[in-house]
């Protein structure tokens, strides 16, 4: 557990639903196999875009069980154990480990906020009671606490945290975290969740990326990672430019926002591409429809992701 | 279910923990009996100050089971079913109803935000599938969505909502909601969660209050409600002034914030008063200690809640 | 200066513009005379709804000069000296005093934020260098600092502040301020800027109100203040209900927000009522037009402010 | 004016004050000459860190006058015309142009917020009436409006804007702006205000940087820019790492925040380095003192900026 390291492209896996809101296992298999074939370095299930907060406990278990079965040890399986407070998080952690998760990903407590001493205590308890590689998931847009880089680095040095998944949007804090982690002999695997500026994160020294858009275009992200490993920075940047053209599936829609616009765009694209059998969303969210589907189809055609 | 009405003082019940983090049933009984003896009009369990987001599903069931047993139909039992998204909320709702809850209290979805159409759909699904009196819990500080008064009034008129528990801090919106509810023949029971300005809420026409501080001083709140019913507004205001002096248990502490300072102060006071056997807090929160306990003791002595 | 006290209804005066963006003096006179005839207790010029941040220094001087001339000592003239930082605020203060202002109203510093020690130093410098009755204007929605009630009360007790104009929307803090001010022998004149919940503020003990809507319906607010003085609280509440019906001029519009929707609605109403010759707004804001004007006209007709 | 282009390192110049709050012209000369000698590509006066919101109109004119005199056409002089609303901004713009500014830098309106249509109208009016190269200053932390990249790119293509100074902290939006600007034949000069992640901004295609820290270490930033021009990306990154070590002057202090901590650290460092005769801050801000000075001295010594 102390030695768990991960780098490269670790997509947060989008979950396909059937029209009547069951887990669509064949679509799930197609999605995962496609990413593995592209060469991703790990897979992160039950992340924010993986329907974690929409899924009942039973559905969460089903997702992890199928994920572990399909991946079959080809890459590490990271599982999000996202819940409001410590004791509830621990229950999800035990469940995920029993089902075969290789590492766990937890946020700061949310809904009832306290101070940073409680956030630190939260991660310490999780580490002590779960005894598994633990990633801190820094996502203030959802939990309304920003994890300070000094705290993260310290918990890394002490062996409490194995890594950080940064979706904070705070690139200054991210940069300081990387430098401090290096100064401490690199205890943490630091992954950026920013799919649009991965080039800069790699140049800064990030160990990898967790890009949601890699569900749609895994090959470009894997190619970009390999270019970064080779120090071909101009190539890394050009690949990011191409990726970003595809990312406009997020902003060509209208009348939708938040989860419906972001994960909805992924599901719509994967449906158009034949990977998913449906673009169904979890309740109370509706799938994209009508004009929005056509706008996304156009982006996919213009960027060559779909061919006419 | 269409006829569920509630008014008056409906405290959100604080939950006592033993030092080793089990539910302290004898303290729970003392707390509830003391509030019933004071004449409260209902009790709200598993609210934000009722450890709802800290409690595992099993602990939530234990709290509701004991609450229903102790209250024994003397007043209505409202139960919070606070969870991130619709399907998870429904599970809590079914559980609470099976254990004997009279009404359910749900927030807007949180963690993964969408637009207002999804919030509306969320409450409609809850109403349809739970088929029980449903209160909307407006608490943007925790869920980061403000429920618009026009939406709440409309859902009341359609029978989707039985009431609103307003902890929004937006007294303008609250006032508009009350006026619109009156214009629609008063379908909603509207309760303020603002313990410090209940007098103004009653004057404005609120049906009742959900004051956390009523765990500590239920008698003053009941007396205030009765004065409001009698139109003795100057008396209502003077009682609020006295209540507010006690409320300084929230701000005489230092080095704590959020849940630790708010609910922590309740538990500390109830412990000092002999109602609770411990001031233990749920993990990862620590109970108040040292200087903070003495500061709260002084407020309780100065206001006559404790006698030396 | 130590003895400046004010209470009752003190409208923040809306400023009429000609179509070509000059000060419309005849409309200004009609507006002011109408409010004085209704019995208001003071007038507040260059507040947030008084175009203060839109007006050049020369225009600010023109507004104060005309205001002082028209009011002619019939009621106190309060003048907003709203600017980013201390030295710039002082310049506006000296100018306003030279032109005849009776009291000055200043916010916390804005744009470049610091800590609360600097906010306190700011008000101390203003008091020392301007040597005039000084009101703290608590308006976090504009300046992004909330003035703590303990600080305000302390500065009142020390004679730094003569009063507070509260537009914070934080009715809990407002209530604590009133109680602490009373405990300190009432050094501060405390005015609420909340036009929709003035009844609760009066019951709580506020000294007066600064309601923007009093530009449109000064008589109702004056009648409400007199009812509050007489302890006729049910009447105070009923008048608030009537006022609030008129206040829907704020929310029947569509496609506008912020200043354009708020002050724009005032100007549109005053134009429809014949008080203003134009509903022109300061650049870059556009006046309300088309559907929005008709929606406001309907509110004014339905509530009897306009007659057909 | 249509042809104004700028790239490279354009420091936002910190302003030295004498102990009695006058402009310290000899220190100002030393600072500017030092940056010009290091090879900076332009200088930005009256930015957020250039005391713009603290300075009276007369002081603003004095700063621009001295700046233009000292720079003497060796590099372009950009001047911030930061004010609440359009007509007030125009006055500052006319003044700056009359004193010799080469380009103007304006934010979105602040204090009284409206919608995006008004922000667009604001920049259009500024362009029309000032007739000079105009930069949009995107700084939501101060003005509480984020300028959308699609709007900025469109105003660039239409010739309304000559460039953008991005201090938004939103690196995703920044990246989209750069790609869209390239797609439109690069009408805008796009400068990042993020001193800690300039390497990623350069790799992404930014035209230059406006790093406050370049007041302290101009040579490192100039060297970094030249390495970026040469495509030596690993070198660009290593220089950023070294820069970031110096940047800890921002976070080794305690008890200060905001402007006092940021610009206060610059002034403290420049004073320790002998460039400034004093670390005086504008009222109501206090200069750093005691422990904080020693902590900054240690950072400067550890990084070789100061030698013992």
Instruction: Kindly report, residue by residue over A78-126, the tens digit of the pLDDT.
Output: 999 999 999 999 999 999 999 999 999 999 999 998 899 999 999 999 9
CA distance B39 to C144: 42
Chain B residues near residue C199 by CB distance under 8 angstroms? 200, 203-204
Average pLDDT over residues A170-196: 97
The distance of B283 to chain A (nearest Cα, Å) reads 6
How far apart, in Å, do the first and last CA atoms of chain D sit?
48
Q: Quote the pLDDT of residue A114.
A: 85
Structure tokens at B55: 């409690």
The distance of A53 to chain B (nearest Cα, Å) reads 6
Nearest-by-Cβ selection for D86 from C111, C112, C284? C284
Structure tokens at D263: 């610009």
Name the DSSP letter for residue B299: H
Task: Give residue A308's pLDDT band: very low, low, confident or very high (50, 70, 90).
Answer: confident
If one counts every other C-beta atom within 10 angstroms of the C-beta of residue A125, the result is: 17
Contact present, A192 and A209 (Cβ < 8 Å): yes
The distance of C296 to chain D (nearest Cα, Å) reads 19
Q: Do A283 and B85 touch (CB under 8 A)?
A: yes
Q: Do B171 and C205 touch (CB under 8 A)?
A: no
For C113, which residue in chain D has the nearest alpha carbon? D258
Q: Quote the pLDDT of residue C3.
A: 80
Contact present, B171 and C197 (Cβ < 8 Å): yes
If we measure between CA atoms, which residue out of B145, B148, B115, B151 comes closest to residue A260?
B115
Q: Quote the pLDDT of residue B113.
A: 82
Instruction: Name the phi and psi angles at C194, rounded to 5.
Output: -90, 105
Subunits with 3+ Cβ pairs within 8 Å of B are: A, C
Chain C residues near residue D115 by CB distance under 8 angstroms? 256-258, 260
Nearest-by-Cβ selection for D111 from C110, C117, C260? C110
Instruction: Give the global pTM.
Output: 0.97
Q: Is A254 on the interface with B (CB under 8 A)?
A: no
Q: Do B204 and C205 touch (CB under 8 A)?
A: no
Chain A residues near residue D204 by CB distance under 8 angstroms? 197, 199-200, 237, 240
Structure tokens at A135: 């990633």
Contact present, C10 and C46 (Cβ < 8 Å): no
Nearest-by-Cβ selection for C203 from B170, B237, B244? B237
Chain C residues near residue B196 by CB distance under 8 angstroms? 171-172, 175-176
Instruction: Kindly report, residue by residue over A66-75, the tens digit of the pLDDT.
Output: 999 999 999 9
Q: Is B260 on the interface with A (CB under 8 A)?
A: yes
pLDDT exceeds 80 at position B1: no
Q: Do D284 and C258 touch (CB under 8 A)?
A: no
CA distance B62 to B57: 9
Contacts of A54 by beta carbon, 8 Å cutoff, 6+ apart: A282, A283, A285, B84, B85, B86, B87, B88, B112
Q: Do D112 and C87 touch (CB under 8 A)?
A: no
The distance of D171 to chain A (nearest Cα, Å) reads 7
If one counts every other C-beta atom within 10 angstroms of the C-beta of residue A190, the result is: 25
Q: Do A85 and B284 touch (CB under 8 A)?
A: yes
Contact present, A200 and D203 (Cβ < 8 Å): yes
Q: Do B171 and C172 touch (CB under 8 A)?
A: no
Contact yes or no, C with D (3+ CB pairs under 8 Å): yes
Instruction: Name the phi and psi angles at D186, rounded to 5.
Output: 60, 55
Q: Which residues of A145-154 are buried (b: 16+ CB within 10 A; e: fewer)?
A: bbbbbebbbb
Q: Do A88 and B256 touch (CB under 8 A)?
A: no
Q: Is A22 on the interface with B (CB under 8 A)?
A: no
Beta bridge partners of C164: C136, C190
Contact present, D138 and D169 (Cβ < 8 Å): no
Subunits with 3+ Cβ pairs within 8 Å of C are: B, D
Average pLDDT over residues C126-140: 98
Percentage above 90 pLDDT, chain B: 97
CA distance A225 to A239: 10
Structure tokens at A28: 């799930």
Mean pLDDT of chain B: 97
CA distance A246 to D301: 47
CA distance D73 to C290: 52
3-state DSSP assignment of residue B221: helix
User: Which is it for the CA torsion C126, C132, C136, C141, positive or negative?
Assistant: negative
Domains and CATH numbers, chain A: 8-230 (3.20.20.70)
Q: Quote the pLDDT of residue C308.
A: 80
Name the DSSP letter for residue A164: E
Q: Quote the pLDDT of residue A2.
A: 53
Cβ within 8 Å of D, A 162-221: 169-172, 175-176, 179, 194, 196-197, 199-201, 203-205
Nearest-by-Cβ selection for C114 from D59, D119, D260? D260
Burial of residue C232, with CB atoms counted within 10 A of its CB: 0-12 exposed, 13-18 middle, 19 or more buried: middle
Q: Do B111 and A110 touch (CB under 8 A)?
A: yes
Average pLDDT over residues A260-273: 97
Contacts of B60 by beta carbon, 8 Å cutoff, 6+ apart: B46, B52, B92, B95
Size (chain D), residues: 308
Q: Do A197 and D175 touch (CB under 8 A)?
A: yes
Interface pTM, i.e. ipTM = 0.96
In this structure, of B16-25, B108-117, D290-299, the range with the lowest mean pLDDT score is B108-117
Q: Is D129 on the interface with C (CB under 8 A)?
A: no
3-state helix, strand, coil in chain D (%, to 5): 50, 10, 40
For A173, which residue in chain D has the nearest alpha carbon? D196
If we measure between CA atoms, which residue out of D102, D100, D80 comes closest to residue D92?
D80
Q: Do A48 and B112 touch (CB under 8 A)?
A: yes
Q: Is C22 on the interface with D (CB under 8 A)?
A: no
The distance of C256 to chain D (nearest Cα, Å) reads 7
If one counts every other C-beta atom within 10 angstroms of the C-beta of residue B70, the result is: 18
Q: Do B197 and C172 touch (CB under 8 A)?
A: yes
Chain D residues near residue C257 by CB distance under 8 angstroms? 114-115
Chain C residues near residue B199 by CB distance under 8 angstroms? 200, 203-204
Task: Give residue C2's pLDDT band: very low, low, confident or very high (50, 70, 90).
Answer: low
The distance of D178 to chain A (nearest Cα, Å) reads 10
The distance of D256 to chain C (nearest Cα, Å) reads 7
If we measure between CA atoms, which residue out of D118, D96, D127 comes closest to residue D1?
D127
Contacts of A203 by beta carbon, 8 Å cutoff, 6+ apart: A228, A233, A236, D199, D200, D203, D233, D236, D237
Q: Do D175 and A196 touch (CB under 8 A)?
A: yes
Q: Quote the pLDDT of residue A3.
A: 79
Burial of residue D58, with CB atoms counted within 10 A of its CB: 0-12 exposed, 13-18 middle, 19 or more buried: exposed
CA distance D191 to D207: 6
The distance of A253 to chain B (nearest Cα, Å) reads 14
How high is the mean pLDDT in each 10-residue block of chain D (308 residues)? 86 98 98 98 96 97 98 98 97 98 98 92 98 98 96 98 97 97 97 96 98 98 98 98 97 93 97 98 97 98 95
Contacts of C235 by beta carbon, 8 Å cutoff, 6+ apart: C227
Cβ-Cβ contacts under 8 Å between C and D: the total is 128
Q: Is B148 on the interface with C (CB under 8 A)?
A: no
Q: Quote the pLDDT of residue C113.
A: 82
The distance of C114 to chain D (nearest Cα, Å) reads 5
Query: How many CA atoms are closer than 13 Å to the CA of D124, on its beta-carbon side?
Result: 14
């Amino acid at each position: 557990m102390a030695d768990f390291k991960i780098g490269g492209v670790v997509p947060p896996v989008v979950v396909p639903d059937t029209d009547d809101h069951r887990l669509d296992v064949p679509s799930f298999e197609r999605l995962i196999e496609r990413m593995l074939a592209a060469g991703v370095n790990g897979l992160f299930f039950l992340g924010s875009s993986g329907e974690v907060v929409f899924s009942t406990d039973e559905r969460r278990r089903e997702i992890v069980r199928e994920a572990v079965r399909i991946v079959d040890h080809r890459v590490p399986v990271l599982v999000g154990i996202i819940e409001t407070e410590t004791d509830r998080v621990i229950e999800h952690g035990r469940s995920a480990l029993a089902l075969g998760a290789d590492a766990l990903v937890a946020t700061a407590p949310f809904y009832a906020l306290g101070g940073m001493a409680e956030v630190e205590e939260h991660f310490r308890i999780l580490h002590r009671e779960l005894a598994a590689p633990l990633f801190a998931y820094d996502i203030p847009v959802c939990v309304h606490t920003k994890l300070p880089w000094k705290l993260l680095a310290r918990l890394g040095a002490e062996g409490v945290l194995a890594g950080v998944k940064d979706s904070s949007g705070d690139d200054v804090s991210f940069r300081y975290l990387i430098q401090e982690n290096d100064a401490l002999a690199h205890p943490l695997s630091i992954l950026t969740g920013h799919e649009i500026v991965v080039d800069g994160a790699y140049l800064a020294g990030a160990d990898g990326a967790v890009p949601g858009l890699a569900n749609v275009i895994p090959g470009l992200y894997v190619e970009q990672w390999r270019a970064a490993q080779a120090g071909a920075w101009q190539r890394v940047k050009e690949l990011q430019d191409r990726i970003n053209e595809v990312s406009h599936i997020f902003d060509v829609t209208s009348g939708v926002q938040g989860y419906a616009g972001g994960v909805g765009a992924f599901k719509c694209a994967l449906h158009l591409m034949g990977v998913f059998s449906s673009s169904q969303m979890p309740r109370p969210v509706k799938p994209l429809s009508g004009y929005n589907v056509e706008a996304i189809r156009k982006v996919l055609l213009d960027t060559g992701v779909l061919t006419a």
